[in-house]
Amino acid sequence: MFNIKKILGLSDEGHKNFRRAVRAVVISNLCLFLPFVVIIQSIITLLEPLMGGGVPDGAFGSGALDSRRLWMLLGLGLVAAALYFFAYRSEYRKTYTTAYRESEKIRLEVAERIRRLPLSFFNNKDLSELTTNMMADCTAVEHAMSHVAPILFGGIITDTAVCLLLAFYDWRMALALFAALPLSLGLILGSRKLQALWGERHVQAKLAVSEQMQEYLEGIKVVKAFGLSGEKSRALKEALRNMMKEAIKFEGSTGVFIVLAMMILQVGIGLVVLTGVFLLTGGSLGVIPFLAFILISAKIYSPLIVIFTLLPEFFYFLVSTKRMQKVRQEPLMEGDEKAEIKDFNIELKNAGFAYHEGEDVIKNVSLSIPQNSVTALVGPSGSGKSTLSRLIARFWDLREGEILIGGKNIAGIDPETLMRSMSFVFQDVVLFNDTVKNNIRIGKEGASDDEVCAAAKAARCDEFIRELPEGYNTVIGENGSTLSGGERQRISIARALLKNAPIVLLDEATASLDPENETLIQAAISELVKNRTVIVIAHRLRTVLGADNIAVLENGRLVEQGSGEALLAKDGLFARLYKIQQESLGWTAARRDPA
C-alpha cells in the first residue's frame, strides 16, 4: 500500500532497518498474545470439570480438575511473559535506534544538499523555511519512524495474522468479530483528503509562525530602537493565533473521525455476542469457544484502536515529509570534479542572466580579465556588479553565453572544484560563534596555528586579536557580535589570505568603514591581491582609479571600459559618477569646516 522507503526518504540501510523494526513489532505483538492464550487455556481447564459432570471423581474431563495442566500452563505463562519482555526490548532497540540513526543521516544529507544547491534555489526560500526543512521536517520523519510507522505496519500485519487464525478456528465468529472493521477503516481512509488539507494548513501555519519569529528576532534592534514593539509584534501575534486556530481545527476534526471509527469498531463486540448466542442456542458452537471469542474480542480491539489512532498521525507526517523530499530532489549544480584549471584568464562571452523569467539583470556582457590583473566593476546601484562577480564564481548559471576560466567553460566545472581557485571578501562578513582561530581557519582546513597567525598578521588583525580576553581562542559570538565592523572585515581578509587562491573577488570590502579601519583594510587587501587575478567591486570610484581595467555597468550592460585616466578623459558614465562623488566629498568637507 505504501512505498515507505520513498515516502520517508530512507536510505537502503535505513529501509532495511525499518523492516527489521516492523518484524520486531510483529514478534512483540504476537508474544503479547501468548499470555492471553495461556489465560484462555487456564479458563478452559478450570471449566472442564463443570462441563464434564460437575462432581470430582478423579477422571480428567468428567469432573476432575487437572492440576498438572494448570501448573504447566502457569509455567508457559511465565515463559510467555519472558518472551514478551525480550521481544519488546528488541522492538524498542530496533525501532528507536533505527529512527534516530536514520534521522541523523537525513539531517546531514539535507544540510549537504542545501550546501550544494545553486543560489537560484534560495531566491524562493527563506531561512525559516530551510530551518524547518532541516529540523521540524526531519523531526517528523524521526517521530514517524520511532513512534508511528513501525507500530502501525506491525499492528496491521499482526491483526491480519490473528484474523486469519481465528477464521480457521471458526469463520462465523471471526466474521462477526471483524464485520465492523471495513466500515470503520473506510471512514479513516475516506477522510484522508480532508485530513491532508487540514494537516497542510496546520503545517503552513506553523511555518508562518517560524517566519515571523525569525523576522522579529533578526529585527529586534530596530524594533527596540524605534519603539515598534506593538506594531511589529502584531504580525507575530496573528501568526500564533492562526496556528492555534488551525491546530484546534485539525486536532478536533481528525479526532471526530477517529472517535466515530472506534465507535463503529466497538459494534463488533455486540455482533460477537449476538452471533455467539445464536450459534450456541442452535447447537453449532460450544460454550468454551463462545467464551474464548468473547475474551478475544476484548483483546483484539486494543491494537486496532492503536492503528486507527496512528493512521491520521501518519497522514499528517506525510505533509512534512513531502516538503522535505522536495528539497532532497532539487537538482544540484554539478560538473567535472577533476577539472584542472591551468591558467586564470577569465573571459565572459555574451553573458546573459535573469533571476526571474523575463527580467534580465545581465545583458550580453563580453569582458576579458587577464591573469594577475586587477579589474574593477563599477556602476550605479542595481547595475549588476555583484551579480556579475557571483556569476564568475558560478553561484548561478548563465541563461545565455558562457564564462571561461583558463579556456574552460565554468558551467562544466564542479562548483566545489571551482571554489578552490577563488577567495571572497564581501561587505557583509559572515563569522561563526566560534574562536577567532577557527573562523580564520575556514580559509584552509587543517591549517597550523602558525599559518593562522601569519595570515592574521598580513591582514593587520594580529594586534587586536592578541588584546582579546583569550587571544586567538576567544569565542567571538554569533556572527562576530563582539567585534567591530572593521575587525570582522579584517578577519575575513585573513581567511582569504590563508586560502591563498589565485582568483580574488572583493565586493565593497571597504564600504561603510571609518578612515582608520579603511586604511588598515586597504593595507591588508594590498597583501591579498599580490600576484593574483582580482575582481573588485567598489562604489568609491577613487579607490579603483589605479586598476588595470575598469568595467562600467549600467542596467546590466557593459557600457564602457578602460583605465581610470582614459575613462575620465572620455567624459562618459564613469566620469559623471566620479564627478558626483567628488562634489559630495567637497560638500561634506565644507560642512565640517564652514570657514
The verdict on 324 and 358 lying in the same domain is no
Output the nine-digit C-alpha cell for 264: 463503529
In a domain, 433, yes or no: yes
The verdict on 37 and 69 lying in the same domain is yes
Instruction: Write down the pLDDT at residue 395.
Output: 85
The verdict on 359 and 289 lying in the same domain is no
DSSP letter for each residue of 38-51: HHHHHHHHHHHHHH
The domain that holds 517 is classified in CATH as: 3.40.50.300
The whole-angstrom separation of Cα 491 and Cα 455 is 9
The verdict on 270 and 355 lying in the same domain is no
Q: pLDDT class for 185, splitting at 50, 70, 90?
A: confident
Q: What is the pLDDT of residues 74-111, one digit of tens each?
A: 777 677 777 767 766 766 666 777 777 777 787 787 77
Distance of CA 316 to CAs 135, 138, 203, 303, Å?
A: 16, 14, 9, 20
What SS3 string covers 82-126? HHHHHHHHHHHHHHHHHHHHHHHHHHHHHHHHHHHCCHHHHCCCC
State the average pLDDT over residues 201-210: 80
Among the three residues 268, 298, 328, which one is the final residue of a domain in this structure?
A: 328
Instruction: Write down the pLDDT at residue 230.
Output: 59
The whole-angstrom separation of Cα 228 and Cα 245 is 26
The whole-angstrom separation of Cα 67 and Cα 39 is 15
Instruction: Write down the pLDDT at residue 106.
Output: 78
In a domain, 334, yes or no: no
Contacts with 131 (C-beta within 8 Å, 6 or more apart), sequence order = 210, 214
Report which listed range, 5-14, 145-154, 333-342, 403-412, is most confident. Answer: 403-412
**Structural contact between residues 383 and 538, judged by C-beta atoms closer than 8 angstroms:** no
Report which listed range, 129-133, 183-187, 313-317, is most confident. Answer: 183-187
The verdict on 324 and 354 lying in the same domain is no
**Structural contact between residues 403 and 348, judged by C-beta atoms closer than 8 angstroms:** yes
**Structural contact between residues 587 and 580, judged by C-beta atoms closer than 8 angstroms:** no
Strand order in the sheet with 533-537: 422-426, 503-507, 533-537, 374-378, 549-554, 557-562
The whole-angstrom separation of Cα 15 and Cα 132 is 24
State the average pLDDT over residues 364-376: 90
Instruction: Write down the pLDDT at residue 134.
Output: 67
The answer, yes or no, to whether residue 519 has pLDDT greater than 80, is: no
Report which listed range, 136-150, 215-229, 315-329, 467-481, is most confident. Answer: 467-481
Instruction: Write down the pLDDT at residue 181.
Output: 81
Instruction: Write down the pLDDT at residue 161.
Output: 81
The answer, yes or no, to whether residue 45 has pLDDT greater than 80, is: no
The verdict on 52 and 132 lying in the same domain is yes
Instruction: Write down the pLDDT at residue 584.
Output: 66
Lowest-confidence range among 43-47, 295-299, 356-360, 368-372? Answer: 43-47
In a domain, 339, yes or no: no
Instruction: Write down the pLDDT at residue 382.
Output: 84
State the average pLDDT over residues 37-43: 69
What domain range includes position 435?
346-592
The verdict on 371 and 435 lying in the same domain is yes
The answer, yes or no, to whether residue 344 has pLDDT greater than 60, is: yes
The verdict on 156 and 261 lying in the same domain is yes
Lowest-confidence range among 373-382, 501-510, 565-574? Answer: 501-510
The answer, yes or no, to whether residue 302 has pLDDT greater than 70, is: yes
Angle at 331 between CA 327 and CA 336, to 5 degrees: 135
In a domain, 335, yes or no: no
State the average pLDDT over residues 259-265: 82
The answer, yes or no, to whether residue 217 has pLDDT greater than 60, is: yes
State the average pLDDT over residues 434-463: 87
| Dihedral angle computed from the Cα positions of residues 487, 488, 494 and 497, in that order, rounded to the nearest 10 degrees | -130
CA proximity to 306, closest of 511, 472, 158: 158
The verdict on 315 and 463 lying in the same domain is no
The verdict on 323 and 354 lying in the same domain is no
Instruction: Write down the pLDDT at residue 350.
Output: 92
Angle at 76 between CA 75 and CA 81, to 5 degrees: 100
The verdict on 291 and 363 lying in the same domain is no
**Structural contact between residues 211 and 126, judged by C-beta atoms closer than 8 angstroms:** yes
First to last CA, the chain: 87
Lowest-confidence range among 45-49, 406-410, 443-447? Answer: 45-49
Q: What percent of the chain shows pLDDT beyond 90?
A: 6
Output the nine-digit C-alpha cell for 595: 570657514
The verdict on 231 and 166 lying in the same domain is yes
Give the mean pLDDT of the chain.
78
State the average pLDDT over residues 246-268: 81
DSSP letter for each residue of 134-179: HTHHHHHHHHIIIIIHHHHHHHHHHHHHHHHHHHHH-HHHHHHHHT
Lowest-confidence range among 87-91, 199-203, 274-278, 418-422? Answer: 87-91
Angle at 211 between CA 206 and CA 215, to 5 degrees: 145
In a domain, 245, yes or no: yes
What pTM did the predictor assign?
0.66
Instruction: Write down the pLDDT at residue 347.
Output: 92
Choose between 77 and 577: higher pLDDT. 577
DSSP letter for each residue of 244-300: HHHHHHHHHHHHHHHHHHHHHHHHHHHHHHHHHHHHHHTTSS-HHHHHHHHHHHHHH
Domain count, the chain: 2
Lowest-confidence range among 42-51, 255-264, 375-384, 553-562? Answer: 42-51
Instruction: Write down the pLDDT at residue 223.
Output: 66
In a domain, 341, yes or no: no
In a domain, 410, yes or no: yes
In a domain, 338, yes or no: no
The whole-angstrom separation of Cα 392 and Cα 390 is 5
Residue 196, number of CB atoms within 10 A of its CB? 16
Q: What percent of the chain shows pLDDT beyond 70?
A: 82
Helix (H, G, I), strand (E, B) or coil at 128: helix
The domain that holds 126 is classified in CATH as: 1.20.1560.10
